[in-house]
Structure formats: C-alpha cells, structure tokens
Amino acid sequence: VVLVGERGDSATYVRMKEAAAAECGIECRVERLAADGVTTDSLVALVDKLAADSTVDGIIVQLPLPDHVNATAVVDRVPTQKDVDGFQPESLGLVALRGRLPPFAPCTPAGVLALLAAYEVDLCGKDAVVLGRSAIVGTPLALMLTRRGATVTVCHSQTRDVESHVRRADLVVAAIGKPEFVRGEWLKPGCVVVDVGTNAVDDATRKRGYRLVGDVEYKAARERASLITPVPGGVGPMTVATLLKHVVIAAARAQGKQTELEEDENKLIG
C-alpha cells in the first residue's frame, strides 16, 4: 500500500486494510510518505519498483493523492496483474463488455454485488438507481448491475429531479458523498438500499466531535426499505474483503493457478 500524507480518513482506511490482512495471514507492507516530499515522478518510480518485485502480488495506491501529484499517471503505472483495486482502464472497459471478464473488478462494486448475492436479492428485471458516476464506484457498478439483468438509471450532479428516479427504484445505491441526501420518504416501500457513502458530520455529543453517516437518511429509510446497509459497517468491510480476495487471486495467478475465489467472482460478475 502506498500512503501519501496524513489525511485522517486515508490513514484509517489503510489501518483497516492492515488489520484485515493480518487476520487473513496476508503480509501487508505500507509505504508511508510525507506529502511535501513526493512528486509524480518519485511515486511513479516507487510503483515501478513494486511492480518489478516478485514478492509483491498486489499494489494499492491510496487515494486521494496530494493536489500537486498527477494521480492518474501514478495509478496507471500499476500493472494490470497487480491492480487488485481494479482501477485500470482495462478492468473498467471489460466490465462494460458482456461475455468478457475483467482482470479484477473494482472492489466496492464487486463487494456490493457479493452483499446482494448473500442476501439473495434478485436483480434480473429490477429497476436500479445508482446515485453517483465515479470511475471507481458509480460507473462500474451501474455496468455490473446491467450485466446482472437490472435496468439501471445513473443519477449525478446534473440530473433533474433525483427524487422522482429514486421513488420508482427497487434497488437504490447511493455513492455521492452527501450526508443523508436521500430522504426516507423518497423510497419505494420494500426496496433495497445500499449506502456507499461515508460522511463525517459534527456531533458535540461524541468524544471525537463527529459521527459518521451515509448518503441515505438511515432512520427514516429503514422504516421503508426491506434491506439497508448501515454506515459504518456495511459496504466498507465488503470492499476490504474483496480487496483481500483479489490479493489471493493475484498470488495464485502468479503461480499459474486458479482458485475457487476467482471462479466465484466470475460468476458474481456474470
């Protein structure tokens, strides 16, 4: 894991990955770098060094990177076979092609699909609304839901009357980074809600001075939804679990092997 700077959220995410890796018996090395001491060229060189290291099966560049660094140039240096985050253009492109499988699906969308499968949520023929069109969550998830037979609407910052789209959805996935943007009364009774958002809001009653909420008004939403993910503790752990699964798959591939984990993920993607 390449971690640049001292952002509290990034540091927290990396600690979660370290702890989960240790629990699974996966060696996790973290390259911690000061933000003011790195350049695009120095990070590219580091990624190239890790890419050439046969003892490294997966490379994660923790985002966001500092503003003075060209994040695309750095992330694009991660070789596809070690891109366990699933951020490479090849992975996203192949997600869009039915009948083709990406080297690694983006972790959060793959984790969402695994969660829905675990609760036996039937996607075929259902109306799904994805709020957010980021390259690492919204866009690939919309493509993956389409592959699974859902009829998908993607709402974003230019969408008019988001509420009207949400009201008819059998599945709502919120990934826009706006605290409690989706109101409970918008939801179709019995729908399924997946809240990808994690937002810190001020709360003087908490020791740390804030609390974490999702993009959905949870208390009101759970009165209408048949299933809803909490924040924290919902999608986040699924993302980390998928990431570790990808590391195992990458390690097996490096030895010319295919694991049941890879077969399971291929079935999940469809």
Helix, strand or coil, per DSSP, at residue 130: strand
CB 115 within 8 A of CB 237: no
CB 212 within 8 A of CB 8: no
CA 171 – CA 150 distance, rounded (Å): 9
Taking the alpha carbons of 59, 251, 144, 222 in that order, is the dihedral positive or negative?
negative
Taking the alpha carbons of 260, 88, 32, 137 in that order, is the dihedral positive or negative?
negative
CA 175 – CA 197 distance, rounded (Å): 5
Which residue out of 62, 88, 215, 245 is catalytically annotated?
62
Is 245 annotated as catalytic?
A: no
Q: Left (φ > 0), alpha (ψ -120 to 50) or beta: where does 257 sit?
A: beta
Is 85 annotated as catalytic?
A: yes
Which residue out of 57, 83, 85, 215 is catalytically annotated?
85
Which residue out of 17, 82, 126, 245 is catalytically annotated?
17
Closest by CA to 60, choosing from 250, 255, 261, is 250
From the CB of residue 98, how many other CB atoms can be counted at a distance below 10 Å?
Answer: 10
Q: Which single residue is written with the structure tokens 């046969």?
A: 54
Give me the active site residues, please. Answer: 17, 62, 85
